[in-house]
Structures are given as structure tokens and as C-alpha cells.
Structure 1
Amino acid sequence: MSHSPSKVRRALVGAGTIAVVLGIVYVVLRMGPLAATQVTVQRVERGVLTPSVSGIGTVEARQSWLLGPTQAGRVLKVHVDVGQAVAAGQLLAEMDPVDLDQRVQAQQAALAKARSSLNTTAAQVDDAQARRELANANLRRQRDLARQNFISPSAVEGREQEVKSADAALQGAQANLQAARQEVQRLQAEGAAAERQRQNTRLLAPAAAVVISRDAEPGSTVVAGQPVLRLANPASLWVKLRVDQSRSAGLQTGLPAQIVLRSDARQTLAGRVQRVELQADAVTEERIAQVAFDQIPATLSMGEMAEVTLTLPPLEQVLVVPQASVQTYQGRSGVWRLEQGTLAFAPVRLGASSLQGQVQVLDGLQTDDTVVVYSEKPLSPGARFRVVDRLVRQGKP
């Protein structure tokens, strides 16, 4: 029985249509929006985690000084400029002494006069002592004569009165001598105070340092304690690091640090935690640590920002998962876990993290659980997925 050409053509067209539909369905299911999401997975295991904590800090000087007058006055001279290195004891600036020079001279003159009065009073004491000794000698002779009845008792009484007068004169001279000594001490103290005030008008470098700021120029009037110059010891530069309190567990002195300066992001500098401050910042919820350089760079500048990563002591036999597996779903942090061939979101509580991209799991997972590490698109509970060894871009291996 033969078939007509029209029936054959209809059969061929129908078969072609079915093939096209099947092809479209295949493409939609394999590559379209209904295609299974490709994912990579990893088993949860226990291992050694070397945690790290990072933060942002600024370069500061451990040793810095603010130099200014102890009294209000006018700046007379400034001998140094910003960036200049100075030696200990070097004269950096001078304040106008006003009348201090005249006051010092007046104190010196008054002290010289007081010393002359002291010498005069000391001579008066010597004279009074000699007069008393003479009066005592005369009294002894008169008493001997009175015992032999050569003179009357009234003559002895006169000599006794002379001795009392000599004693009183000696006590007065000694009192004047003590007062003269105290006057000399008072004038010496006032002279030293005036000299100290005169010296305070000369601003000297307390140690070898570098001038980092010049805050007043000659002719400017400054109040007591207002800085004229700011100094810093370039050998004491370190990084003031701020670490989030929630990640600061294990922060202690001696921890090794890796420092990356904003001025040279390609270079990593070695350092170590020198000090952990007891007072934390309650506003920013950060702890503060000082990180010293193993070797201070020659081009380091104060105030420069730095990114610091601290290596904490290793943790033994803890649950770890890749940091990439941690996702946020409906406001909660967790991982996508494979449960009997389906996807389910498991909220987890995380701990320390490492520079190798591993993070500690404190709660929410168990050993041998399987979690999704990477996915080619966002996941949802019960979504279709396909496990692959690695994700590839479409059109590229």
C-alpha cells in the first residue's frame, strides 16, 4: 500500500517539530532558568585552625613632646623648622623675657646686700661674745676680792649686771645673725625662682627628636601650656590598632603582625603587638593595641593609615568550613547543607577565622556534614542543584 507524498511530508514535519520541542525542553532544563544550579561541596571536618584578626590603625609616635611656655608671653624667636632633627638640650625657641632680666639682677643685688649684712651681724656676734667673756672675767675677779673683804658687795652686783647685759647683747646679736641667714636663704630662693623663670623662656629639646609641627611664629602671644613646637622620636613609631571587640579574643602582647601601609600596598612589613591597652573604646566597640615594627621603614610618616593582620595562637581539633561557604539568608548567617539529596539552610555560630580562608564553626554543624562552598547563582531551600568538581564560566573551560 503506497503513501501519498503529502502524508509523508506531514509525518516529516511532525517528527521535526517533536525534535525541536524536545531540544528546547532539553536546553531549558539544562541551561535555562529551570536548569539545576551547579554547586561545589565540601565535607565538614575537624582540624587545626590558625586564626587571625585584622584591623585598621594609624602610625603614631610612642615618644612625643609639646613644648610651650609655663607662663603667658610673646614668642621672641623660633630657631627650628618642621622636619628638622634636633639634639637633646638644643635651644629651639625663645620667649620674650619682658622684665625677667631686671628682676634677676635685682635679686642678685639684694642677695649681695644680704650677705654683707650677714657678715656684719656675724662680726657683731663675735664682739658680743668677747664682751660677755670680759664681763665674766671681771665678775670672777670682783667675787674673789669680795670674799677677801677688799671691796663691798655692791661692787659685785654691778659686775653681775654687766654680765647679764653682755648675755642679752649676745642673744640679740645671735638672733640678728639667724635672721640675716634666713634673709640670705629667702633671697637665694627668690633668685633661683627668677632664674628658673628666665630659663623657662628658653625652650630646649628634651631628647633627640624631629620637629613635626611649628604652632607659633615670632610675635605671636601664647598662653601658659600652649605648644609652640611639637616633637617626636622617629625611632618610636608604631601603629595604634583598633580591633572589633567581637573578634578580639586572644589579643595579647607578643603576637606577630603583618602591616600594610596605605602608601605602599605592595609591601608587607613585619611587626609585633607591643602593648594592649586596658581601656577599650565604648563608642566604637573596639579594643586598642599598639603594634611595633620589627624594622621601621625610612619613609614612614605619622598619621598614615595601615592595615594590620595579627596571627593568633592555633586552635586544635575544631570544626572548620571555608569562609566562602558562609552565606546570609533571611537576615541570618549560615551555610547551605545537603540533607538527603536536598538543600537546606543551616544557621551557624562562627568563631575565629584564618588567613587561609577557613572559619571556625562553634554551633550548627557536625562532623561529616556536607556544605555548599560555591554556587553559580543564589540558592533557596529545595532548589534543584547539581554537584560538580568546579564551576566554569559558560563558553570557557
Structure 2
Amino acid sequence: MKPSANIQRRFLLGAMALALLGALAWVALRTGPLAPVNVQTTQVTQGRVSPEVFGIGQVEARRSWMVGPTTPGRVLAVKVDVGDVVAPGQALAEMDAVDLDQRLAALDASLARGQSGRAAAQAQLADAQAKHALAQANLKRNEDLARQNFISAGALEARTQEMASANAGLQSAMANLDATAQDINRIRAERAALAEQRGSLKLVAPAAAIVSSRDAEAGSTVVAGQAVVKLIDPSSLWVKLRVDQGRSAGLAPGLVARIALRSRPGESFAGKVARVEPLADAVTEERLAQVAFDVVPPGISVGEMAEVTLQLQPTEEGLLLPNAALQSFEGSSGVWLLKDGALTFVALQVGANSLDGMVQVIPVEADALSHGDTVVMYSAKALSADTRIQVVEQLQGAAK
């Protein structure tokens, strides 16, 4: 082989080796472990945050009634059905009276007998009073005669004894009359109680309401306090809201609410927080509140799920960032500031945030961050101050 051909071959091989090394270096620097980290950036803005509290609840009735008997018994009839609108005092159901009517008749007879006994006692009292008056007059007459020595001492003692007997008879008649009056009062009280019990067997509506449940049928035996019919006031519907305790700061009565019902997708109803429960749910770690509708929507159901958004008071003017831009570095929360191609971690104090992902921040060091600065929002890998980066418009898989 000629010397010139060997030189050409060696030169060609060297060129190919250099090209291969260059390609490997380019791959390592662009797509390998030494490649810059792709980041997506955002701008620091100035403004106010309108914090919102979100929670899920269910529709309940503020005013409801469980209508049932006050004594055990058997249901005689149920006169309403689920969904019926009832007026105050309207009959809902009736319990079987069993022997109450007969007991009332027996007490009426006892009352009549007591009144007859009272009449007899009054007659006995009148007779005792007449005897007492006669004995008193005889005693006075004999006392006058005894002073004039017209009668003996024995005769006067007999009249005195007659007077004492008349006094005892009068007292007995008066006591007997009082006893008959007490018996009559007792019978009347027993009859009134039994009549009240008889009247309670007719179950009536305490207010204008809708029948929400029919829990017993004719022939069923129920105990005292068991509901036969359940009622709700349709104008008192509200949402029992559950809010995560960690996101419940600012929850208070009077907050404006937007209510989205599961049965009305795409619609929103206005309301307000009527009450915040003093006791939280320790198991689910949630706070409870009652949210009332400004106008109760027609046709909603008790127990229906609802999503509620509460509007809190806007904050003061401050620096705003997307919540996604916040990173944790060396135990501090903050953002990576991009200035002149270099990364600097700026520690921040996080303030209020809104449901759209914006959060109000305050730099730990004054003037470390200002309006218009560029910060990293998403990065393909964890960052450090000496990380090489490449800014892209959109990271693959990053939220839009």
C-alpha cells in the first residue's frame, strides 16, 4: 500500500473518531445527565387575593318534626302519605283507643256518684247546723234558768252535753262535705288526664309542613315517642357543610356562599353561613357549619349532596404567585428567582391563597422579590443554585 493512502485512511479514521466524540459530548450535554434542566417560568404580580373556603355538605331541614304517640299503642289509621302538604292542626294519624272510652265512661259515673254524695253531705251539714242552733238556744235558756235557781245543776249539765254533741256533729258534717269535694276534684283530674290521653291519640300537624316519611301503618304497634309520621318545613332547608379544619380559617356566620347542588349541575345558588357549630368532628378533622339559601330552590331533596364555596374578605395589596411556584429548599419555603440566567432561592412567608391557585407572599428578606420578577414555576428536576437550566414554554405533564 502506498504511504499516501495510509495517511488518508488514518486521517479519515481520526476525523470519524472526533465526530463521534463530539456527538457523544453533545448528547451528554443536551440530553444526558449533564443536560440543562427544563423549567417553566412565571412572573411575580401585584394585587389582592380573594380567599375562598370550599366544602361539601348535604341538604337538611332546619325545622322537622317526628309525630308519634306519647303512650304505647296500636296504630288505627294513617291519613297522609309521603309528599303531602299538611296544614297546622290537620289530622295525620290516629291511635287505637282500646279501653279509654270505657274508662272515661266509668269516671263520668264516678263523678256523678261523687256529686250525689256531695249533695247528701250538704244535707247532713244543714241538719247538723240546725241541731247545733237548737242546742245552743236550749243551753242559753237553761243557763238563764239556772242563774235564777229554777232548774237543777244536773239539767244544765245535760244541756251542755247536748251542745257538745251538736258541735261534734257539725264538725263531722263539714269534714264529710270537704271529703266529697276532694273526691270530686280527684275524679275530675283523673278524667281530664284520661281525656288528654284520649285526645293525644289523634296525631295532628304542629305547623305547615311536608310529609317526609311514613314510618308506621295501620295495625302496627308503636312505643311511646316512636314516630308514625315525619314532617319537614320546606322553607327551612339549608346545607350542613363540612370544611377541612386546616382550610377553615375565617369561617364565620354571615359569609357569602355559592351553593352547587348535585341535582342541578351548572347552576349556582346564593346563600350565607347561618351558623358555625361549636363542636368539630374529631374523627374526620372537619368543622361543621350551616349554610342557608337566600331563596330555597324548588324541588330539592333532603339529603342531597351540595358543594359550597364561601367568599372571605379580600386581602391587602401584595405580591402574588401561583401556588405551584412555591418550593421547599433546605427547610425553607420559597421560590427560585431567575435573574441574568442565574438561580437564587428566595425564602418567603406564605399568606392567604385563593381557590384558583394564587397565593400572597412576603419575602423574608426585604426587597428580595419584587413585582415583575421571573421565578421558576415548574422544573423537570429538583433545582439548586448551580443547576444549568433551559426555559421552555410548557413542560411535558405540567398543568396548563
TM-score (norm 2): 0.82
Moved more, 50-59 or 157-166: 157-166
Q: Quote the residue 2:304 is aligned against.
A: 304
> 2:180 aligns to what?
180
Shift of the 140–182 alpha-carbon distance from structure 1 to 2, 3 Å rule, reads same
Q: Which one-letter code corresponds to 1:234 in the other structure?
A: P
**SS of corresponding position for 1:151:** coil
Aligned equivalents of 1:120 and 1:185: distance in 2? 17
Q: Are the structure 2 counterparts of residues 328 and 262 from structure 1 closer, same or farther at C-alpha, using a change threshold of 3 Å?
A: farther
Report the counterpart of residue 3 of structure 2 in structure 1: none
Q: C-alpha distance in 2, partners of 1:362/1:191?
A: 79
The residue number in structure 2 matching 1:337 is: 336
**Which stretches in structure 2 are left out of the alignment for 5+ residues?**
1-10
Q: Which amino acid aligns with 1:78?
A: V
CA distance in 1, matches of 2:183, 2:173: 15
Q: Mark the CA change 1:81 to 1:20 in structure 2 (over 3 Å): closer, same or farther.
A: farther
Q: What amino acid does structure 2 have at the position aligned with 1:306? A: A
Q: Tell me if structure 1 keeps the 8 A contact 2:347–2:364.
A: yes
Gaps of 5+ in 1: 1-10
How far apart in 1 are the matches of 2:202 and 2:194?
13
Per the alignment, residue 40 of structure 2 pairs with 39
Contact 1:336 1:371 in 2 (8 A): no
Shift of 1:374: 4.1
1:169-248 alignment to 2 at 5 Å?
A: 169-248=169-248
Q: Structure 2 matches for 1:1-397, cutoff 5 A?
A: 34=35, 37-43=38-44, 47-317=47-317, 320-326=320-326, 334=333, 336-338=335-337, 341-343=341-343, 350-361=350-361, 368-369=368-369, 370=373, 372=375, 374-375=377-378, 377=380, 380-381=383-384, 383-387=387-391, 391=394
Which residue is equivalent to 1:5?
none
Separation in 2, partners of 1:333, 1:109: 91
Q: Secondary structure at the match of 2:291?
A: strand
Question: SS at 1:173's partner residue?
Answer: helix
Structure 1 CA distance for aligned equivalents of residues 365 and 320 of structure 2: 10
Q: Displacement of 1:193 after TM fit?
A: 1.7
Give the TM-score normalised by structure 1. 0.83
Note closer, same or farther for the CA distance 1:87–1:184 as it changes in structure 2 (3 Å cut).
same
Does the 8 Å CA contact 2:36/2:387 hold for their aligned counterparts?
no
Report the number of matched residues. 384
Note the C-alpha offset of 1:102.
1.0
1:269-316 Cα deviation digits (max 9, x unpaired): 110011111111111111111110000001211101111111122332
One-letter identity of the residue aligned with 1:247:
R
SS at match of 1:265: coil
Percent identity, aligned pairs only? 52
How far did 1:318 drift?
Answer: 5.2
For the Cα contact (< 8 Å) 2:36–2:390, is it kept in 1?
no
Q: Distance in 2 between matches of 1:187 and 1:116?
A: 13
Structure 1 residues 247-284: Cα deviation after superposition (integer angstroms, max 9, x where no partner): 22221111111111111121111100111111111111
CA contact (8 A) 1:41 1:387 kept: no
Residues 175, 270 of structure 1: alpha-carbon distance in 2 compared, 3 angstrom cutoff: same
| Residue identity opposite 1:353 in structure 2 | N
